[in-house]
Structure 1
Amino acid sequence: MNQNETYDAIVVGTGISGGWAAKELTENGLKTLVLERGRMVEHIKDYSTMNDDPWDFPYKGELSADDQKKYHVQSRVNWAPKDDNKHFFVNDLEHPYVETKRFDWIRGYQVGGRSLTWGRQSYRWSDIDFEANKKENIGVDWPVRYNDIAPWYDKVEKYIGVSGQNLGLKQLPDGIYQPAMKLNCVEEAFQKATAEKFEDGRLVTIGRAAHITDPEAKFEGRNTCQNRDRCSRGCPFGGYFSSNSSTLPAAERTGNMTLRPNSIVYEVIYDDTTKLATGVKVIDSETHEKLEFKAKVIFLCASAMASVGILLQSKSERFPNGLGNDSDALGRGIMDHHYKLGATAKVDGYLDRYYKGRQPSGFYIPRFVNLDESTGRNEYLRGFGYQGRASRGDWTEAIAELNYGKELKDQVLKPGKWTIGATGFGEFLPYEDNRVTLSPTEKDKWGLPQLAFDVEFKENEYNMREDIKKQIVAMFKAAGFKDVQAYDEETGPGLGIHEMGGARMGHSPKNSIVNKHNQVHLVPNVYVTDGAFMSSSSCVNPSLTYMAFTARAANHAAKEFKSGTFS
């Protein structure tokens, strides 16, 4: 590649945000270089385990002893990595970081990033979320409100395909949806019991998921979800949204995208004369060669913590503490969502009922606390929701039967009894002292400083966790379920895989890093549109919001570029 060429734009990262930045910039006519620190992954071709069956894997799909050492941090999440998707998660021995306090950093370094393995739950924020910081005098006020972002939610939902149901809730705005997936019979019973037994507005609905469900819908190169539940291996049907199946191919079709994998961006280059960025510094991950690429517009979409790390490393005489960091806000206000707590229960009856396929989305319970005076809580601020599902066990329950002969054969052909479970996802407040910094001593194998995490739950989070358990236990009991058990597993921030903050959005460079258009206040041709820009966390999955803000920012950047602002 010609390092002397000046591109119109550079996008750092190819995940949820990077794919959208690449699509919108190239479709606006900008010659765009897309840099990814990981390996190339081509849609379908590189989904090496997409059609494998359980018996195709040694250890029944679990990691070998050697792999357990390589993925010792990634495995904290329990559901991943497994032998069928470990190639989409980082080797922790090769990509270390410093845990001043425990922080579970789950990563995927490849073209497509974590868009290949994300949970695909897609919910809009409301003004309750955008206004909370200002009303409670916490963190910094968002310089945008729901009406600013609503048109971009529309655009994203139409393009990626989100299945769901409109509910008319102020805390969970309606959207533009594919046909909703179906609750199974036990989930429907839970929905009915919740509506009858509680009068505080809580309800059970189907999750809103980025899966195509309408066979008549037209999505270029993509087909409907096949209910295989092999999503984290990569979907050859394109049934769920990923950068690889959707936005990156769209960018490629324009002829305006150049994609370079194995490219570790570690610094944004600043010109003190123009007061703009001129490009980025890169290390080739395979050859360790140092390169520089030039552009008029820079989009940081490397994932929240990685983008913060790049900004922290981007030091100059003007910005000795990191690019745009006059306020010392850079790296502060790190957030995640609560995870790994909730409840399980056994369900009597319904033994003549089953479900079809392996549906990728279960039920969702939207936030129902701290919405008004009647739902207020004195113990904590903000709120939480639940994601869960009901299912039937399998033949392994027959082991306890001690049958043999015909009785054993009859038993193993029958599904087991019904169970139900729900996990709480709660909001995490943006504390100033929850921060990430550059380690002064520890380096990675490319000689770059490792990130050091000093992030923790505080009193508000612990109080909320208690109510998360209490409320779902009450709901399961009210529904008549049996053996209701709360659980609260050992965890740290990060394990929700919704890490946010560090380059927060605000009104002023005195207390924030980016403005309402996701531009770095003090270096306006640098945009940050992954989770780093988040000034609060809401309690819903954030990826849809990243996509909406990225699309909005990329169109703003294209207009500014064409007007000559960045020349």
Structure 2
Amino acid sequence: MKDKLYINETKEHFDVLVVGSGITGGWAAKEFCERGYKTLMIERGRVVEHRKDYIGEGKGPWQFANRMKVDNLLVEEQYRIQKQCYAFHDASKHFFGNDRDLPYSTEAGTDFSWIRANQLGGKSLLWHRQSYRYSDFDFNANKADGHGIDWPIRYKDLAPWYSKVEKHAGISGSPEQLEQLPDGEFLPPFEMTSPEKQLKASIEKHYPDRKLIMGRTAHLTQPSEFHLSQGRGQCMARNECQKGCSFGGYFSSQSSTLPAAANTGNLHIAANSVVHSLIYDEKSNRVKGVRVIDNDTLKTREYFARVVFLCASTLGSTQILLNSKTKTFPNGLANSSGVLGHYLMDHNYNAVIRGQFEGFEDEYYSGRRPSGIMVPNFQYHPGKYSKKYLRGYAFGGGSSRSNWQSSGWSDGIGAGFKNRLTQAGPWHMTLYAQGEMLPRYENSVSLHPTKKDKWGIPQLHINCKWSENEHLMMQDAAETGKEMLLKAGLTNVDSTVTSDTNPPGLAIHEVGTARMGADPKQSVLNAYNQSHDIPNLFVTDGASFCSSAVANPSLTFMALTVRAVDFCAREMKAKRI
């Protein structure tokens, strides 16, 4: 992408404003630009150029002052919350938000870890790339058990859009014919280790309703000619994705959607532009544009367009809407229902099970596979629910063999100890549970009445905690996972439940707060992610979700976005917007 793409002040009136440049923003920009619409992408953070700005890529731990550990003083000053993320280290810290400049508050007795990546590309540079379709069991769950409102769509509505984004992004995986986890357009999957294959055989023998599969992930295991034409290359299995990938081996805005949008000549990008609020015209009942504050100078400016797509992340988009108060909408723009900010959800990653394999001493693995195994949800409709709680969970995980790094913590001295460091240790297996969180009105975000950030925008105040349902689910997951490993012959099996100590947020799968629905009195958006109240306003990120489901949400973010763009373009052509 070239410098002429980047603008600051402009009098141009665009066709579309896309707020946010992560997974959903990148897709929205690509789809509109390829349809010929002049599109301005607004990003609150700095520009990150593909390849050039991956400053930690390819560097070994020994090339960092503290062997990848971030200086303690810097952590406390800037990254107190961000440091909790699995991807945070000295080679990736520049892709994370600065907690000092991005404050928020939480309700007494609750906590929430809000992980942020404010730069061009957003969290598409940091995500864990697991990519799954939702099934009709996911879209029907709220209606089936009465928790939350019914999704206004079903699997058939998203199936063709899932296919579209999978073919473009490149998703590796294996077809499994599972009714709760639909198959997609797959590149070849990564290979399981021999211990994982043994575990798979055991689970599927002892539990006919369960299957162990290779994780489905947005990596080019075998790129097509189309992927190569994007300038992307095969995944090298370095598992250093969060440093940035110059190969484009995994899907990100930088490697895929932004270049496609830029190649049309229809894309402009306003970086370092913090959106304060939307500009709403009472007379026409339309959003006319956005007010932004310069990230560095704190000067204000405005951008205008025919349509606005909010893709700023679940909490980011919600904060913008809440702060866009008008005479018609005193409690937040497009909030006639009163549900804006409510029904916040995250995935429940709070049970871990570990065990040791006997044997396989002659086996090892090559490379650093950037994905693991998965046991899909086996409690996916009310007839399969546990008697103790509602909904279900999946297991993720993987096997590994102990090496010199773990031996480095053991006692020893002399030639014998040194020789032991050259020998691989036993194989271990780790499973972690990924559970659904029920939609609950009291789990919510609002604007703090007095506290503001450095741009003068009211801070978000978050009230979110696990319910008894989530606690019971994780206790069951720990017991179930332990039983599965023991039946497979593993030894030294133990489990841990952390829902009492780990708050929501760290799954980084927050959804809800501007949900879609058929009834405008109970929802913010319709089935096409269009505001019920304001026809030219769309929200296509995780804020639109009615439930969290069990599988990772990113692929559904993408499919919802391209479907919404298609609908919006047809409405624009018909001059209804």
SS state of the match for residue 61, structure 1?
coil
Pairing 1:104–2:113 present: yes
The verdict on how the C-alpha distance between 1:444 and 1:556 changes in structure 2, with shifts beyond 3 A counting, is: same
Structure 2 residue aligned with 1:357, among 367, 370, 387?
367
SS state of the match for residue 140, structure 2?
helix
Structure 2 residue aligned with 1:50, among 49, 52, 57?
57
**Conserved 8 A contact 1:227-1:360:** yes
Aligned counterparts of 1:369 and 1:135: Cα–Cα separation in 2:
13
Task: Map 1:234-249; keep pairs closer than 5 Å.
Answer: 234-249=244-259
Pairing 1:211–2:216 present: no
Q: Could you tell me which residue of structure 2 aligns to residue 476 of structure 1?
A: 485
2:330 partner letter: P
SS state of the match for residue 549, structure 1?
helix
SS state of the match for residue 172, structure 2?
coil
Q: Which moved more, 1:483-492 or 1:501-510?
A: 483-492
Structure 2 residue aligned with 1:306, among 293, 312, 316?
316
1:105 partner letter: W
Q: Could you tell me which residue of structure 2 aligns to residue 14 of structure 1?
A: 21
Shift of 1:94: 1.2
Pairing 1:328–2:338 present: yes
1:6 partner letter: H
Instruction: Give the TM-score normalised by structure 1.
Output: 0.97
Shift of 1:488: 2.1
Task: Map 1:441-520; keep pairs closer than 5 Å.
Answer: 441-489=450-498, 490-520=501-531
1:87 partner letter: H
Q: Could you tell me which residue of structure 1 aligns to residue 558 of structure 2?
A: 547
In structure 2, the gaps of 5 or more residues are 1-7
Pairing 1:71–2:79 present: yes
**Conserved 8 A contact 1:71-1:81:** no
Q: Give deviations 1:530-561, integer Å, cap 9, x for gaps.
A: 00000101011000000000011111112222
Q: Give deviations 1:397-424, integer Å, cap 9, x for gaps.
A: 445463522x344322222221110111
1:15 partner letter: G
The verdict on how the C-alpha distance between 1:413 and 1:433 changes in structure 2, with shifts beyond 3 A counting, is: same
Structure 2 residue aligned with 1:295, among 273, 288, 305?
305
1:413 partner letter: T
The verdict on how the C-alpha distance between 1:397 and 1:47 changes in structure 2, with shifts beyond 3 A counting, is: closer
Aligned counterparts of 2:308 and 2:177: Cα–Cα separation in 1:
38
Shift of 1:76: 2.3
Aligned counterparts of 1:94 and 1:433: Cα–Cα separation in 2:
27
How many residue pairs were aligned? 562
**Conserved 8 A contact 1:122-1:542:** yes
Aligned counterparts of 2:406 and 2:542: Cα–Cα separation in 1:
43
SS state of the match for residue 431, structure 1?
coil
SS state of the match for residue 385, structure 1?
strand
Aligned counterparts of 2:165 and 2:506: Cα–Cα separation in 1:
26
Q: Could you tell me which residue of structure 1 aligns to residue 5 of structure 2?
A: none
Structure 2 residue aligned with 1:264, among 274, 280, 290?
274
Task: Map 1:85-484; keep pairs closer than 5 Å.
Answer: 85-100=92-107, 101-199=110-208, 201-219=209-227, 220-371=230-381, 373=383, 375-399=384-408, 400=410, 402=412, 404-405=414-415, 407-484=416-493
Q: Could you tell me which residue of structure 2 aligns to residue 565 of structure 1?
A: 576
Q: Give deviations 1:143-202, integer Å, cap 9, x for gaps.
A: 111000000000000000000011111100011100011100111111011111223x11
Shift of 1:218: 3.0
Give me the identity figure in percent: 44
Q: Give deviations 1:109-162, integer Å, cap 9, x for gaps.
A: 000000000010000000001111112222111111100000000000000000
The verdict on how the C-alpha distance between 1:455 and 1:372 changes in structure 2, with shifts beyond 3 A counting, is: closer
**Conserved 8 A contact 2:385-2:391:** no
Instruction: Give the TM-score normalised by structure 2.
Output: 0.96
SS state of the match for residue 218, structure 1?
helix
Shift of 1:4: 2.9
